[in-house]
Amino acid sequence: QVQLVESGGGLVQAGGSLRLSCAASRSIFSFSVMGWYRQAPGKQRELVATITNIGRTNYKDSAQGRFTISTSSTKKTVYLQMNNLKLEDTAVYYCNARTIQPPPTDYWGQGTQVTVSS
């Protein structure tokens, strides 16, 4: 079965940087898309960034220009480089993968906490 393990979260001051990693048990070629979502307390889970199996990327408007999603050379790890972090970036960040076959299924990691301080 698909396993997704996030890491890299932590406490950082506003303006700082973090790199999140999502280690998958299968390569991105097993999926149509992988990405990062986040959920702050009392808020709806929202898309941060996605990357397809052919490398097309999509970003939340507020993340564009600050965040970069990419894959490792093995295509089994997805990164989210977060620069110029802001207080509103504080959330639990979740890795997501959507399978191609059998019928599309979403898998989620356990999440990693990102806390941005002033």
Per residue in 60-80, pLDDT tens? 998 999 999 999 999 999 999
pLDDT of 45: 97
Task: Quick: pLDDT tens for 2-61.
Answer: 999 999 999 999 999 999 999 999 999 999 999 999 999 999 999 999 999 999 999 999
Amino acid at 37: Y
Task: Quick: pLDDT tens for 91-113.
Answer: 999 999 999 877 889 999 999 99
